[in-house]
């Protein structure tokens, strides 16, 4: 499924995907359409622009992943809306690509995301690194076990991704298998997503408890 409010872009992406033999089960121009059509068509992969009429790309990501945990969300955004990208990833998106990427890169990203891989751009890796450092400095950090942390290896891998190395190059440099590199990258995201969910649940519980008083 392709979600973008610019018809021109939507068509271009659809054409590329269909030309490569992938099936586009639905398209949508707004967040609302996206949610309704995703429920009806159950796409494997959703290619999502973050700047769409409400609900926002971040909210759509969260709802899609909640409805169907097997759906893969690939964010395709034009201007580097940095905070939004990070929020979308925390909400459950597993891939991020800027719109200036070539169609070959887009197809590769869609295929890899469909297989369960994580598609990281150097920009996203930088954001995730920054987010972990922010969490480590934050007031919650002293609380201990609740705050997600990166292992040394994960930090190393993320930094290499942020410096523009491909998974293959990283595997070579660290003498690891390609799969292991992918696992490290996925773990960094999974921990952030889990933390995000825990925070939401905690927030909901606190609100609920407060109401009883």
Partner 1 sequence: MAVRPGPDPEAAADQVETTLFRALGVLRLVVLVYALALNLARFEEFTRPRLLLVLLGVMVVWTGFVSWAFDAPRRRGLPLYVADLGVAVGLLLCTPLVESEAMLERHASTVPTFWVIPAVLAWAVGRHWVQALGAAAVLSLADLSVRVEAAGRTWGNIFLLLLAAGVVAYSTRTLRVAVEIRARAEREAAAHAERLRLARAVHDGVLQVLALVQRRGTEAGGSMAEVGRLAGEQEAALRALVQAQDHVDAVDTGGGSVDLLELLPAAPYTVSGPGRPVPMPAPRARELAAVVAACLDNVRRHVGEDAPAWVLVEDLGGSVVVTVRDEGPGIPPGRLDEAEREGRLGVRESIRGRVADLGGEARLVSAPGQGTEWELVVPRG
Residues that bind partner 1 (CB under 8 A): 6, 8-9, 12, 51, 78-80, 82-83, 86, 98-100, 102-103, 121-127, 129-131, 133-134, 137, 159, 162-165, 169, 172-173
* Residue 122: CB minimum distance to partner 1, A: 5
Nearer to partner 1 among residue 118 and residue 121 (C-beta): 121
Contacts of 60 (CB under 8 A, 6+ apart): 3, 31, 34, 35, 48, 52
What is the C-alpha to C-alpha distance for residues 199 and 79, in angstroms, rounded to an integer?
A: 28
**71 or 195: whose CB is closer to partner 1?**
195
Question: CA-CA distances (angstroms) from residue 24 to 13, 48, 197?
Answer: 10, 13, 30
Q: Residue 71 or residue 161: which is nearer to partner 1 going by CB? A: 161
User: Which of residues 39 and 173 has its CB atom nearest to partner 1 in the complex?
Assistant: 173
Query: How far is 185 from 64, CA to CA, in rounded Å?
Result: 22
As measured in angstroms, the least distance from the Cβ of 102 to partner 1 is 6
Sequence-distant (6+) residues with CB within 8 A of 91 are 58, 59, 61, 62, 65, 193, 196
- What is the nearest approach in angstroms of partner 1 to the Cβ of residue 37? 21
Closest distance to partner 1 from the beta carbon of 65 (Å): 21
C-alpha span between 150 and 192 (Å, rounded): 10
Q: Furthest-apart CA pair in the chain: how many Å?
A: 60
Q: How far apart are CA 201 and CA 58, in angstroms?
A: 18
The H-assigned helical ranges of the chain are: 7-19, 31-41, 57-67, 82-90, 103-114, 122-137, 152-162, 167-174, 178-212
Q: Using the minimum distance from each CB to partner 1, give the nearer residue, 163 or 202.
A: 163
Residue nearer to partner 1 on the CB measure, 98 or 176: 98
């Amino acid at each position: 499924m392709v979600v973008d409010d610019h018809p021109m872009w939507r068509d271009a992406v659809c054409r590329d995907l269909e030309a490569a033999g992938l099936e586009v089960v639905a398209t949508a121009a707004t967040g609302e359409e996206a949610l309704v059509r995703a429920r009806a068509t159950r796409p494997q992969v959703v290619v999502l622009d973050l700047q769409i009429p409400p609900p926002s790309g971040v909210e759509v990501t969260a709802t899609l992943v909640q409805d169907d945990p097997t759906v893969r969300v690939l964010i395709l955004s034009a201007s580097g809306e940095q905070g939004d990208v990070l929020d979308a990833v925390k909400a459950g998106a597993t891939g991020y690509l800027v719109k200036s990427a070539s169609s070959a890169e887009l197809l590769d990203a869609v295929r890899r995301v469909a297989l369960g891989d994580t598609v990281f751009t150097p920009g996203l890796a930088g954001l995730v690194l920054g987010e972990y450092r922010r969490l480590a400095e934050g007031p919650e950090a002293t609380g201990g076990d609740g705050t997600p942390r990166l292992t040394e290896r994960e930090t190393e891998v993320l930094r290499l991704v942020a410096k523009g190395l491909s998974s293959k190059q990283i595997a070579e440099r660290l003498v690891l298998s390609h799969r292991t590199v992918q696992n490290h990258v996925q773990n960094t995201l999974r921990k952030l997503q889990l933390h995000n969910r825990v925070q939401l649940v905690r927030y909901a519980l606190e609100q609920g408890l407060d109401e009883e008083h």
